[in-house]
Amino acid sequence: MRTLVKLYFYLLSRIWPALAAKHAGRLLFTPQLPASLPDMPSPDEVVCVSDDTCVMIWRGQGKTVLLMHGWSGAVEQFTHLLPRLLHLGCRVVAPVPKGHRYQGEGRSHPGYFIKAVNEVLTYQSLRVHAAIGHSMGGSALALHGVSHLQIARVVLIGAPAGLTGVLNRFGHFLGFNQRAQNALYALADSTVGVSHEAMDAATHLMKTAQRALVIHDKDDREVPFKDAEQYVMKHPDARLYSTEGFGHRRILQNDAVINEIIDFIR
């Protein structure tokens, strides 16, 4: 099936590049939500702060930690981390962007992830000590738009360095020629409402994080390791922690990774 899909897009991109980009955009901007999720501690409260954003809240008397899941994901991705945070007494807040969970299935895009982070950071004047994001969730943390707010500790796990790279990898996967790739850029810009080039998370991280821990697996097949290196290269107080053999998702289940995060955000 995957081979047929790639053949379809390869041929269509050469006959009608704009249509190929339109069909590709439907795939790219429609989350594939998980069919089942692991058990985790139930939140104390779920609040919908806007039509596009809800937030799950676990009450605690300690520092506030924000968890931002990735594209097509859920906060259950942090099943191994969340109990450790709660054991420390942290107050945990987890944004849920459009197209995920409480908002139901449907279209979404990176702009909604950034909006979710922005709305939760400003919800009841939260003072967030640390923020932890996986994949697109990590990029959204780096790109948050709350003025003059640098989060003390930011952890990025398998996070793309920018939207341009995501679009390039998707176009390459589909066998797009340059005309179709340019059409995909234009469609993404129109959908998200900002130029893909402006969504340079690696460059923006310095504005949004005082210190950063960048975690990435060298065998990640979805987001290349070089994206992690870009974050570290562009932030003077960012540190890279690498793993091997866990890929893009299982890295969140690694005990050494969890320990590294806990030590960093204390």
pLDDT for 151 equals 97
Together in a domain, 154 and 85: yes
Instruction: Tell how far CA 36 is from the center of its chain.
Output: 20
Domain region containing 23: 1-30+167-198
Choice among 40-49, 95-104, 144-153 with the minimum mean pLDDT: 95-104
Cα gap 74→239, rounded to integer Å: 26
Please answer whether residues 138 and 162 qualify as being in contact, where contact means their C-beta atoms are separated by less than 8 angstroms.
Answer: no
% the chain with pLDDT above 90: 91
Q: What is the pTM of this model?
A: 0.96
Is residue 248 domain-resident?
yes
Q: What is the DSSP letter of 135?
A: T
Together in a domain, 104 and 79: yes
What's the whole-number mean pLDDT along residues 90-101?
A: 95
Q: What is the mean pLDDT of the chain?
A: 96
Last residue of a domain, one of 198, 215, 245: 198
Residues with Cβ within 8 Å of residue 25, at least 6 apart in sequence:
184, 187, 188, 191
Q: Tally Cβ neighbours within 10 Å of residue 57.
A: 18
Burial class (CB within 10 angstroms; exposed 0-12, middle 13-18, buried 19+) of 156? buried
Together in a domain, 24 and 136: no
Together in a domain, 182 and 226: no
CATH number of the domain within which 56 lies: 3.40.50.1820
Together in a domain, 184 and 139: no
Together in a domain, 224 and 112: yes
Q: Say yes or no to pLDDT of 89 above 90.
A: yes
pLDDT for 1 equals 62
Domain count, the chain: 2
Residues with Cβ within 8 Å of residue 87, at least 6 apart in sequence:
none
Q: Say yes or no to pLDDT of 199 above 80.
A: yes
pLDDT for 34 equals 83
Is residue 106 domain-resident?
yes
Together in a domain, 131 and 214: yes
Choice among 1-15, 118-132, 245-259 with the minimum mean pLDDT: 1-15
Together in a domain, 21 and 146: no
Which tens digit of pLDDT belongs to each residue from 167-196?
999 999 999 999 999 999 999 999 999 999
Q: Say yes or no to pLDDT of 141 above 90.
A: yes
Cα gap 211→12, rounded to integer Å: 45
